[in-house]
Amino acid sequence: MNQNHNPIDAAVVVLAAGRGTRMKSDLPKVATELLGKPLLQHVLENLRAAGLRRFCIVVGYKREIVEALVPDWPDCKIEFAVQTEQLGTAHALACARPDLADFCGPLLVASGDMPALSPASFRALLDQHNQEGNSSTVLTAHLNDPTGYGRVVRDPGTHQVLRIVEHKDADAEMHRIQEVNTGTYVFTSPAIFEDLKAIGSQNAQNEYYLPDIIALHNQKQLHCGAMMLANATEAHGINSTEELERLAAVLQAS
C-alpha cells in the first residue's frame, strides 16, 4: 500500500453495480477476490490512499453483498446510490446525483473492477484536471492489444481528445488505435450532472455511455484533457476469470 496522501477537496463516485456475467459466478463482479481481497476493496483502499475522503458507491446487482464489502472508515464519508437497472455507465453516474447535491468541485469517477490503479495515478489525474482547468479529464493507457477497450480519438494536429469510441462501435481504422480509455475520469460537479442529460443510447449496446461526455464537451467547446498511464498494467480491469488470473500473476511478480 502506498503511503496515504493528505485529504483532498474532491469526491469520488465508484461504479460497482454490475453483475459481470463473464466471471462464471453469481457474485457481483466487484466482490470477486484478487489475491485474497475483493476487487472493490483494492479500489477503495487505493482511492483513500490517494487522499479521497468522500465516496459515493453506485450499487445495483446484489447490492447487499457489495455494501458489506465497504470498510467503515471513520475519516471518510461513504454513501450508496442505487442503480436499479443497469443502463450504462452514464446512467450509473447520474444515479449518484442526489447524494452529491451539496458537493461542488472535482469529481473523480472510478470503476470498482480496476484494482491495479495506483493512488499516485488517481492523485496525478486530479492534479492535472485542476491545473489545466478542464471540464473533463480521462485516464488513458497505451495497450499493445487494445481489443475490447474504448479507443481515444485525438485531433491529428492539436492532439486534443475529440471523443472515445467503444470497441463495438469502432470501425477498422479506429481499431488500430492503441490508446484506450481506462474508464476513469475527473469532471466538475455539479455541471457534469446537467451534461449527462444530453447523452443518448444510440449505440451497439443501447446503453448510456459515460465516454460520450467527451464528444459532448467538445461540441460545447469545453476543454477535454487526458493523462496516459506510465504503467499500462494499471489499466487492466477484470472482465473474465482469465483476466483475473493474469492480473494476479502480474501483481505477485511485481
**Domain annotation covers residue 2:** no
Q: How many CB atoms neighbour CB 173 within 10 A?
A: 9
**Domain annotation covers residue 1:** no
* Four-CA torsion 215, 182, 195, 17, nearest 10 degrees: 140
Tell me how far apart the alpha carbons of residues 155 and 250 are, in angstroms, rounded to a whole number: 34
**Domain annotation covers residue 147:** yes
CATH number at residue 248: 3.90.550.10
- Bridge partners of 238, per DSSP, are none
Amino acid at 186: V
Regarding beta strands 105-111 and 77-82, do their DSSP bridges make them parallel or antiparallel, or are they unpaired? unpaired
The pTM assigned to this predicted structure is: 0.94
Residues in the chain with pLDDT values less than 50: 1-2
**Domain annotation covers residue 20:** yes
Among 28, 216, 183, residue whose Cα is nearest residue 116: 183
**Domain annotation covers residue 5:** no
**Residue 221 cell numbers, joined:** 467547446
Range of the domain at 205: 11-253
**Residue 3 cell numbers, joined:** 503511503
**Domain annotation covers residue 50:** yes
Tell me how far apart the alpha carbons of residues 15 and 18 are, in angstroms, rounded to a whole number: 8
Number of structural domains the chain divides into:
1
**Domain annotation covers residue 6:** no
Task: Report pLDDT for 18.
Answer: 87
For the stretch 115-165, pLDDT in tens is 999 999 999 999 999 999 999 999 999 999 999 899 999 999 988 899 999
Positions marked active-site = 22
**Domain annotation covers residue 225:** yes
Among 34, 42, 40, 38, residue whose Cα is nearest residue 1: 42
